[in-house]
Amino acid sequence: MTTKHARWSPLVALLLVGCASVGGAGPDEPSSTFDEDMGRVMVPLLEAGLFKILPKYNLAIRRREAQFNTLYYETEWRPRGLTPAERDEGVVDARQRVVLRGRRTSTDPSGGGVFRVNFEAENEVRTQLNGSWHPAPAPDAFFDFWREVAMDLAMEIRVGVRRG
């Protein structure tokens, strides 16, 4: 190996290790979250959609923070039924909630903010070995449920745009 290569090898190795550790679950690994990009949304339409759709699924806003450049909504944790596979793995309890985060992208003609909103449903469990709540891979039913909620919310927002 030349001196030039010897000097760069540790740096390249460090970069490759850093790249390998960035990110969450890979495409074939089970995930503990469901993520959906809701697109660009005006706050009044988002809130109207949330207050119409969330009660339909027995969900309630627990926390709301709105600043000039950011939005944050979080629902109460909601119990989730266990699958037989989860019971076999020692899961004793499961819960889920949704968190919406928005980052301001522009201003609408009336002066209000337009936000890029991300919908993220979280899954946590308690097990026989770990009695504390912690993220865990979610079953398919979790993703089906939250996909339906996200689609209903997106549809309500689109309908609100047409009504407005």
The three state secondary structure string of 97-160 is EEEEEEEEEEECCCCCEEEEEEEEEEEEEEECCCCCCEECCCCHHHHHHHHHHHHHHHHHHHHH
Quickly tell me which residue has 């988002």 as its tokens.
Answer: 46
| pTM of the predicted structure, to 2 decimals | 0.78
pLDDT digits (tens, 9 = 90+) for 113-163: 999 999 999 999 999 999 999 999 999 999 999 999 999 999 999 887 665
Domains of the chain: 29-163 (3.30.310)
Distance CA 136, CA 122 (A): 9
Q: How many residues does the chain have?
A: 164
pLDDT of 110 higher than 70: yes
Write out the H or E segment, with its range, that includes residue 34.
Answer: strand 33-42
Distance CA 37, CA 59 (A): 20
* CA dihedral for 136, 73, 36, 139, sign (positive or negative): positive
pLDDT digits (tens, 9 = 90+) for 31-76: 999 999 999 999 999 999 999 999 999 999 999 999 999 999 999 9
Mean pLDDT score across all residues of the chain: 86
